A and B are shown apart, each in its own frame.
Chain A
Amino acid sequence: MKNRLRVLRAEREWSQQDLADRLDVSRQSVNAIETGKYDPSLPLAFKIADIFELAIEEIFLRDVVEQAAK
């Protein structure tokens, strides 16, 4: 699943470690989520959304092919 984490983080001038500290997870986790290697659980996705003060769907994007099929 694609996401806008890197952009949102850059807008706030946060490093991966800054975001990891806010989420109380490892920097490796932030990197994995950001690069699309791991999709977070719903609770963690809500936590990310809360930190950026955005809705989940404004951060995590459904695949275009998946959307077109519906």
Chain B
Amino acid sequence: MMATATQNKAKPGVWAGLFGANMAVIAVLFITGVIEPPTPYILFALNMVLMVPLVRAGKQLQVEKGGVTRAVSRYNRRFLGFSLAYSVAMMVCALLADRMGWATPVMWVLAIVPMVPAFGMIWAMTQYLREETDEYLRHRAVSAAMVGLGFVLVLGTGWGFLETFGLVPHIWAWWVFPAWAMGLGIGMALPERDAGGEA
């Protein structure tokens, strides 16, 4: 315990906060017209690089709490791989799309390419729930997913009403995934906050 106490504690919350704050700033700049496509997509993609320290800090925290299973390791590896693939695909496709005309056949390809790793991240979560044999960790993941769902429903429904009454601009629907992921992170942090531990 003494050795653990003297080590740097994992702080995935700091990275998650930085990730969320960056996303919010980019979204505000985009919505207010300060930056125009493809700049916001490239900034979103660059922000995804923060997933590397975020996932690493999350893994360190899982190790500290004794919550690492084979399924968790596989999930971390898959999620990080898809995040980086998404980041690269988003940047490349946004840059290429900016030089092409709307509604061309190539535009379909450019739209679908970043969709694949994004779906991969969702698949990684589904696989985790299937592969995790530790019922408590599975229970926590499902509970956190419900928090994420609530987060998306509140944000989406709230924004929808504000948009209907012309108070806020329209935003594209793909925001649901990062918003859900943020809610998932909040959900994962909530129940274990006061959990102790013993080596």
Contact = CB atoms under 8 A, between A and B. Distances in A.
Interface residues of B, number: 19
Contacts of B195: 28, 31-32, 35, 37
A44 B133 CA distance: 11
Interface residues of A, number: 20
Contacts of A30: 66
Nearest to A25: B134
Interface string B180-199: 00000000000110011111
Interface of B: 62, 65-69, 133-137, 139, 191-192, 195-199
Q: Ordered nearest first, which 5 A-B pairs have the shortest CB separation?
A: A27-B66, A28-B67, A29-B136, A28-B65, A28-B66
Interface of A: 15-17, 20, 24-33, 35, 37-38, 40-41, 44
6 contacts: A26-B69, A26-B134, A26-B137, A31-B198, A32-B195, A37-B195
